[in-house]
Amino acid sequence: MGHYYDQHINPFCILQPFRVSIVVKMEMSCLWTRRLLLGANSVLLVKHPTTIAFSTFSVTRSILSPPPPLISLFSSSRRSLSTTTSACSSPLHPHSDFGNDAVNDAAAAIPLESQKMLLKGMSYTELEKWVQSYGFRPGQAMMLWKRLYGSGIWAHHVDELQGILLLPILSSLNKDFVKMLGEHAKFKALSLENILTASDGTRKILFRLDDGLVIETVVIPCDRGRTTVCVSSQVGCAMNCQFCFTGRQANNFHVGTLMGLKRHLSTAEIVEQAVFAQRLLTNEVAPFTNVVFMGMGEPLQNIDSVIKAADIMLHDQGLHFSPRKVTVSTSGLVPQLKRFLHESNCALAVSLNATTDEVRNWIMPINRKYDLGLLLQTLREELGLKNSYKVLFEYVMLEGVNDSVDDAYRLIDLVQGIPCKINLIQFNPHCGSLFRPTSTEKMIEFRNILAEAKCLVFMRYSKGDDQMAACGQLGKPGAIPTPLIRVPEQFKLAVNV
């Protein structure tokens, strides 16, 4: 039911010669109003700055000739908003904090499509604040949040919010709220490019980003109703791990940026991989139970967006993953690893893959900056401060490189004093790779040595490798590979060079 209030306004200096009365329609269902003091004699009651901005504009146009261009009325707001949104898509700087200025500026004008607020880039607190900035109740933010993440709707468009009004479990959204979302909110950060299904049921999903780049997300159905989604955190990767297809693709898009890395993903682009994949496969696989940040990229090089995305995935009214079921992997960026352990409750995996600096310097060049001693001592100290927290060490087994009996005993020594689990991972070959996978028998022997020393150790076999969806295989086939690092003399035989 609509109600009408007479309003006396005096909002902008360009209207000073005129005293204008207008009627502003107020919806009874939305009494979340603001009282704005605009002058000694003027008290204005509006439900949202957008309402008054456009009311004023239409009045102004009827009085002034020629009409002022829209951009001149809203130029400062449009500039700020465009800064906020472009920061989200800017290469290497995708993260943009959502603060008061962004809220106030976003509220001032209907933006262009590219300037709309990307909903999945906001934490719940930010979404609530943004919704309130348009004069709506926090409860509307919760209803929206559930439609994005928590109700099996996975809304991708404002029209899908309307459609779910038919569902009895969800109460109705205010129609003005839906209208505001249609004007100011963007629901999608990704477009589906392709889905490839491997013989073991693993799906590799290719998503296209707004700037045309493509990322890959892998869905791995497991036993006992468990389904893991593996998300990417960057386009490409700068780490140049020698056994990894992603890290070895040269950057032929943006000359001058880090080798192999095209850009970081924004929070929205990370979160939406899990949401979009669940939406696509909802009738084919069990609901996702685990998220691993082990797709394209070094997650901790994009730590702001990754921590925020992981937090969004934990929200109990949304995706509601357990922190123990969201695992962020790193090749060993020590300062970021410390920060992650301080700021996030999610699980941490460290890609170890060698028991000497000599081998690790070769196959994981990040070791030249943060060597094994520093990496493991940092973990020892940091995990000593946490309760019931185990780091997961990933150990990709490469024949003749890191799979000897001596390696097994060295590994036992290295992880002493660190609460941990160890995953022994079968290497997934790819074109141009120097390495060969360790045989199953040798993996079992290696595993048994660790188990006898009371290490918590598991063997992980390849999944999805016939569609290049397995660990270390993500990326664009045919892309130009980066030059290989010189092979240490004693390993030349093992890798046939």
Point out which residues bind ligand SF4 (CB under 6 A): 237, 239, 241, 244, 246-247, 296-298, 331, 351, 472
How far separated are the first and last CA of the chain, in Å rounded? 79
The residues assigned a catalytic role are 216, 471
Q: Given the complex with ligand SF4, which of 52 and 422 has the nearer CB atom?
A: 422
- Looking up tokens 């130029």, which residue turns up? 75
Cβ 491 to ligand SF4, closest distance in Å?
18
Percent helix / strand / coil, the chain, rounded to 5: 40, 20, 40
Cβ 132 to ligand SF4, closest distance in Å?
39
Cβ 481 to ligand SF4, closest distance in Å?
12
List phi, psi (to 5°) of 128: -60, -45
- Residue 333's alpha-carbon distances to 2, 298, 410, 415, in angstroms, are 58, 9, 22, 18
Cβ 378 to ligand SF4, closest distance in Å?
18
272 close to 154: Cβ distance less than 8 angstroms: no
Residue (of 50, 113, 125) closest to 85 by Cα position: 113
Cβ 148 to ligand SF4, closest distance in Å?
28
203 close to 469: Cβ distance less than 8 angstroms: yes
204 close to 211: Cβ distance less than 8 angstroms: no
Q: Given the complex with ligand SF4, which of 437 and 472 has the nearer CB atom?
A: 472
Q: Given the complex with ligand SF4, which of 53 and 241 has the nearer CB atom?
A: 241
Q: Given the complex with ligand SF4, which of 53 and 396 has the nearer CB atom?
A: 396
Cβ 298 to ligand SF4, closest distance in Å?
4
Q: Given the complex with ligand SF4, which of 49 and 299 has the nearer CB atom?
A: 299
Token pair of 137 as six digits: 């109740």
The b/e string for 297-319 (b: 16+ C-beta within 10 A; e otherwise) is bbbbbbbbbbbbbbbbbbbeebb
- Three-state DSSP at 98 gives coil
Cβ 91 to ligand SF4, closest distance in Å?
17
Distance CA 346, CA 341 (A): 8
Closest-CB residue for ligand SF4? Answer: 247
- Residue 341's alpha-carbon distances to 334, 392, 444, 480, in angstroms, are 11, 13, 32, 36
Q: Given the complex with ligand SF4, which of 297 and 318 has the nearer CB atom?
A: 297
- Looking up tokens 């918590």, which residue turns up? 456
Q: Given the complex with ligand SF4, which of 96 and 423 has the nearer CB atom?
A: 423
234 close to 84: Cβ distance less than 8 angstroms: no
